[in-house]
């Protein structure tokens, strides 16, 4: 029998702000080794432009990757490498900061709505100083699979096996292997999949309420999952869930603002490089 992953702990998202006053709901795990290789999940959701109008003006990063995924709305990216990308509904953007990137990001509504996520993924020490990189993936290249019960799974990054069939997302070049997917349903449904037993896994519920075993998880909550080879989710009504699974990075994590390195000395070097125009 396949060992099904169970809930290990629940972490509620908390209100926060970033950039030029952008209101978000945030879950972070910089100091939690069970969160690795992920570092943070920000949910952007608004029907009012005043919540995000300032966006995220030009700022630096080193040592991480970011994945931005928009359910509703646009998200524009510009960076020092000359990349300009604008997502529409259902698209994703990936950026590897590596040794350094300076970029800006601007969320924009569609039909008066904005709903999306930015996920920070750690880079292992061996890749923290590699050249920066960027790709965007519009909605039509995100891998989709509709189940018989009408629910939809969208695989954004890595691979996910459902009923013996492996679905590969368009993003495959992350610093360590990860799987990031979105399960959506408008009615009672179930979702079952295989997960790499060597990966850590978590779920962020962004709509409705789901069940894992006898435990319910409501919107705005992250469920840290224990070990196992499989995942089994059910819901009695509409639901939306982000699945994050990845190979843990068993290295020290030192976080300071937009920089995530392995030591305070490396953080200080990143700050100095940025101040002297040497970050990129």
Binning pLDDT at 50, 70 and 90, where does residue 109 land?
confident
**What is d(CA 1, CA 12) in angstroms, rounded to the nearest whole number?**
32
Q: What is the mean pLDDT of the chain?
A: 94
Please report which confidence band the pLDDT of residue 28 belongs to, taking 50, 70 and 90 as the band edges. Answer: very high
Q: Residue 85 above 90 pLDDT?
A: no
Higher-pLDDT residue of 260, 47:
260
User: Residue 22 has what pLDDT?
Assistant: 81
Nearest to 114 by CA among 205, 17, 44: 44
pLDDT of residue 133: 97
3-state secondary structure of 260: strand
H/E stretch holding 162: strand 159-162
For residue 9 the two structure tokens come to 């702990």
Rounded percentage of the chain residues whose pLDDT exceeds 70: 100
Phi-psi category of residue 213: left, alpha or beta, with phi > 0 → left and psi -120 to 50 → alpha:
left
Q: Summarize pLDDT for 51-82 with one digit per residue, the tens.
A: 777 778 899 999 999 999 999 998 889 999 99
Could you tell me which residues come within 8 angstroms of residue 99 by beta carbon, excluding any fewer than 6 positions away? 62, 128, 129, 130, 131, 132, 279, 280
> What gap in Å lies between CA 89 and CA 167, rounded to an integer?
21
Strand, coil or helix: what is 46? strand
The pLDDT of residue 149? 96
Mean pLDDT on 116-133: 97
CB 121 within 8 A of CB 178: yes
Show Cβ contacts of residue 154 under 8 Å, excluding neighbours closer than 6 positions.
90, 142, 143, 144, 181, 182, 183, 184
Task: Report whether pLDDT(20) > 80.
Answer: no
Model pLDDT for residues 217-230, shown as the tens digit of each residue? 999 999 999 999 99
pLDDT at 18: 84
| Tokens standing for residue 195 | 């997960």
**pLDDT value of position 8:** 96
Average pLDDT over residues 148-155: 97
Q: Global pTM?
A: 0.96
Q: Which of 107-111, 115-119, 143-147, 192-196 has the lowest mean pLDDT?
A: 107-111
Which residues lie closer than 8 Å to 274 by C-beta, 6 or more apart? 60, 100
Burial of 206 (0-12, 13-18, 19+ CB in 10 A): buried
State the Cα–Cα distance between residues 41 and 102, nearest whole angstrom.
20
Instruction: Please provide the DSSP assignment of 109-135 as one string.
Output: -BTTBEEEEEEEEE--GGGTTSPPEEE
Q: Cα–Cα distance between 59 and 104 in angstroms, integer?
A: 6
Query: Which is more confident, 20 or 145?
Result: 145
Predicted confidence (pLDDT) per residue in 244-267, tens digit: 999 999 999 999 999 999 999 999
pLDDT at 243: 98
Q: What is the mean pLDDT of residues 82-86?
A: 90
Distance CA 12, CA 89 (A): 26
- Dump pLDDT digits (tens) for 1-15: 789 999 999 999 999
At 87 the pLDDT is: 87
pLDDT given for residue 195 in this prediction: 95
Q: Phi/psi at 114 (nearest 5 deg)? A: -140, 125
What does the pLDDT average to over 162-174? 97
Is residue 173 within 8 Å of residue 6, measured between CB atoms? no
């Amino acid at each position: 029998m396949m060992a099904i992953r169970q809930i290990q702990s629940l972490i509620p998202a908390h209100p926060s702000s970033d950039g030029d006053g952008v209101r978000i709901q945030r879950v972070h795990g910089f100091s939690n080794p069970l969160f690795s290789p992920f570092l943070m999940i920000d949910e952007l959701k608004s029907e009012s432009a005043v919540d995000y109008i300032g966006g995220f003006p030009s700022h630096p990063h080193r040592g991480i990757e970011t994945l931005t995924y928009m359910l509703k709305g646009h998200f524009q990216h510009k960076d020092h490498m000359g990349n300009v990308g604008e997502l529409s509904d259902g698209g994703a953007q990936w950026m590897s900061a590596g040794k350094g990137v300076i970029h800006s990001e601007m969320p924009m509504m569609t039909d008066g709505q904005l709903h999306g996520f930015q996920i920070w993924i750690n880079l292992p020490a061996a890749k923290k100083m590699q050249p920066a990189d960027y790709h965007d993936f519009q909605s039509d290249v995100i891998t989709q699979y509709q189940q018989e019960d009408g629910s939809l799974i969208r695989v954004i990054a890595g691979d996910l096996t459902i009923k013996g069939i492996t679905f590969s997302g368009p993003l495959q070049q992350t610093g360590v292997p990860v799987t990031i997917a979105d399960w959506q349903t408008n009615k009672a449904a179930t979702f079952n999949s295989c997960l790499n037993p060597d990966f850590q896994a978590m779920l962020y519920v962004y709509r409705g309420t789901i069940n894992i075993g006898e435990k319910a998880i409501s919107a705005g909550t992250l469920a840290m999952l224990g070990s196992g080879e499989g995942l089994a989710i059910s819901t009695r009504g509409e639901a939306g869930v982000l699945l994050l699974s990845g190979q843990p990075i068993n290295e020290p994590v030192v976080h300071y603002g937009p920089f995530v390195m392995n030591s305070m000395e490396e953080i200080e070097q990143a700050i100095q490089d940025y101040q002297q125009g040497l970050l990129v």
